[in-house]
Amino acid sequence: MKKIPFLILGLGLALVGSPQAADRSNIVYILADDMGYGDLGCFGQETLNTPHIDQLAADGMKLTRHYSGSTVCAPSRCVLMTGLHTGHCTVRGNGDKLLKPTDITIAQKLKEAGYRTGCFGKWGIGHPPPRDNPNQFGFDEFYGYVNMHHAHNFFPEFLIRNGEMEKLDNVLDDMWREKKGYELGGPREGAGVAKVKKDYAPNLITDEAIRFIETGGEEPFFLYFALNMPHTNNEGGRDPYKNGMEVPDYGEYADKDWPDTEKGFAQMMRMIDGYVGRVVETLEKKGLTEETIILFSSDNGPHEEGGHVMEYFDSNGPLRGMKRDLYEGGVRVPTIVKWPGKVAAGTESDVLSGFQDVFPTLTEVAGADTPENLDGISLVPVLTGDPDKQSRHDFLYWEFQEQGGKKAITDGKWKFIMLGTQKASYTPSELYDLSQDPGEEYNLAPDNGELADRLREKMEEFHTPED
């Protein structure tokens, strides 16, 4: 694969022109849940097979320095939908916070521009959101899990369609239906473990996403396909001896000499790849391939929950850390863009980018209005081979409210991390040179106090106190 550096991407300019608003490309954004930088074959995975996603990369561009909005799901998805990083956005953790009525999402802007909008899978922005929350924020159609805790359960008793419950043929173990907080109307409604497992929710959700593509009219569409995989069922695997990696069967991995949790994880990865293959195949059958941009990414780094061991398949690859860390492994995510005729096939870019960039990128693709207050920048120039016109981030910034509070900032070369930021008496800091140490092994803060102080001060410019 040939690499296209950020500053010299013009090689393919004659082949891939800039988009015009009249192109009205369909938009498919596929989001995995807790998939690590090293989980895909095209990003270095050596054990698990992901041929459809690897082909997506071969047909498009890999973004090797693309970062999630946060290191857990709710704030990361908030950044994705609103284009505001966690120093500015409304939902900055997995706690009790919801989008405000004044928040503007990608879906709202695309809908205003004449796009048919559909969200299928896991919404999970804030806790606990009302059942029609996706519809309130710009989606014509929604089917799946609105509540992030409900999305732990792969065999739920119900899913949500446009704010209404739809019954499935699964039956929860009584302890979960009756447990405080898990009852209907509770903050964790629908979560738990089924004792009767018939309907596998990701299969149903994928069917609905495919239907959304197949039944469209002349207007362009925006499909947000937000899988809850390879996340685990936390309620089903709260200790290492239980298996939260819920799948209908272990498929080709059934006879492997692996723990059941790892067979489950491997099968989830295989199923995700198959779902992506179905989306691509449906676009081809409908004759929509040439007029559709497909983006694939993950909401944060790999997990180690439900009995799964992250290192079993080396899910973070060459990076350090995982979900809930602000090290690279917690926030750098495998990202692919396929856009025939616009993005040169078999390329990659190390442009410093993040989830906040998706909003302005997609509104430019669609010829839609872009709000002026976004933290993101459009990546269309670097995608289409015109790097001289590409704006660049001076810094990317994250703040995370769990585990005593954490903050991080990077300019691409230097990465500065503060731990325990909610504990005034103890805020250790770490400094890494990512150009020499992408695995963040050598903390340079003790010997670079002046640089660390400058980056600490810079952090304050990115933080706005929450309401």
Helix spans in 137-200 (H): 174-178
Based on the fold, state whether residues 198 and 316 are members of the same structural domain.
yes
Picking from 393, 419, 437, the residue at the C-terminal end of a domain is 393
**Domain range enclosing 437:** 403-462
Distance CA 189, CA 150 (A): 6
Based on the fold, state whether residues 179 and 298 are members of the same structural domain.
yes
Distance CA 233, CA 250 (A): 16
Does residue 467 sit within a domain?
no
Distance CA 70, CA 331 (A): 6
Q: How far from 9 is each of 331, 351, 354, CA to CA, in Å?
A: 25, 10, 19
Could you read off the pLDDT tens digit of each residue along the chain, which spans 467 residues? 544 443 333 333 333 443 443 468 999 999 999 999 999 999 999 999 999 999 999 999 999 999 999 999 999 999 999 999 999 999 999 989 999 999 999 999 999 999 999 999 999 999 999 999 999 999 999 999 999 999 999 999 999 999 999 999 999 999 998 899 999 999 999 999 999 999 999 999 999 999 999 998 899 999 999 999 999 999 987 665 578 999 999 999 999 999 999 999 999 999 999 999 999 999 999 999 999 999 999 999 999 999 999 999 999 999 999 999 999 999 999 999 999 999 999 999 999 999 999 999 999 999 999 999 999 999 999 999 998 899 999 999 999 988 899 999 999 999 999 998 887 777 799 999 999 999 999 999 999 999 999 999 999 999 999 87
Based on the fold, state whether residues 174 and 285 are members of the same structural domain.
yes
**What is the reported pTM?**
0.94
Based on the fold, state whether residues 140 and 67 are members of the same structural domain.
yes
Instruction: Find the CATH number of the domain harbouring 21.
Output: 3.40.720.10
Angle at 388 between CA 384 and CA 391, to 5 degrees: 85
Does residue 213 sit within a domain?
yes
Does residue 108 sit within a domain?
yes
Neighbours of 6 (CB within 10 A): 16
**156 in Cβ contact with 135 (< 8 Å):** no
pLDDT of residue 226: 98
Based on the fold, state whether residues 444 and 344 are members of the same structural domain.
no
**291 in Cβ contact with 25 (< 8 Å):** yes
Does residue 398 sit within a domain?
no
Based on the fold, state whether residues 280 and 198 are members of the same structural domain.
yes
Instruction: Find the CATH number of the domain harbouring 446.
Output: 3.30.1120.10
pLDDT of residue 23: 63
pLDDT of residue 388: 87
Based on the fold, state whether residues 287 and 373 are members of the same structural domain.
yes
Based on the fold, state whether residues 455 and 377 are members of the same structural domain.
no
Q: How far from 361 is each of 295, 365, 402, CA to CA, in Å?
A: 11, 6, 30
pLDDT of residue 172: 96
Q: Which residues contact 10 (CB under 8 A, 6 or more apart)?
A: 385, 386, 387, 388
Q: How many domains does the chain have?
A: 2
**Residue listed under structure tokens 């994705």:** 80
Distance CA 399, CA 462 (A): 10
> How many helices and strands, by DSSP H and E, does the chain display?
11, 18
Residue 54 phi, psi (nearest 5): -60, -40
Based on the fold, state whether residues 418 and 366 are members of the same structural domain.
no
pLDDT of residue 203: 98
Picking from 393, 420, 447, the residue at the C-terminal end of a domain is 393
pLDDT tens track for 79-101? 999 999 999 999 999 989 999 99
Map residue 269 onto helix, strand or coil. helix
Based on the fold, state whether residues 40 and 123 are members of the same structural domain.
yes
Does residue 1 sit within a domain?
no
Picking from 393, 414, 431, the residue at the C-terminal end of a domain is 393
Does residue 259 sit within a domain?
yes
Based on the fold, state whether residues 315 and 428 are members of the same structural domain.
no
Based on the fold, state whether residues 446 and 358 are members of the same structural domain.
no
